[in-house]
Amino acid sequence: MDKNQLLELALYYLAMLLLVFFILEVTQAVVGEIAFWLELVIILIIVFAYRYIAVWLGVAPSGRE
């Protein structure tokens, strides 16, 4: 892997991490305190859906398409 691919992947995963935190914060603001297991389910849904959404939007790293 070259530097550009590593940077592209790092930004991809950073965006996913920020999206997870953002959605959890919004969920807690709207619903209130939620259980750990429900948070874990939300995180897993985001992580698995993120790849497909990124490819659909055309923002996935070149190795993921």
Nearest CA to 43 out of 9, 15, 17 is that of 17
The angle, 0 to 180 degrees and rounded to 10, between the axes of the packed helices 3-31 and 36-57 is 130
What is the C-alpha separation between 43 and 65, in angstroms, rounded?
23
pTM of the model: 0.80
Give pLDDT tens digits for 3-60. 888 888 888 899 999 999 999 999 999 999 999 999 999 999 999 999 888 889 888 7
- The contacts found for 44-50 with CB under 8 angstroms, 24 or more apart, are 46/16, 46/19, 46/20, 47/16, 47/20, 50/16, 50/19
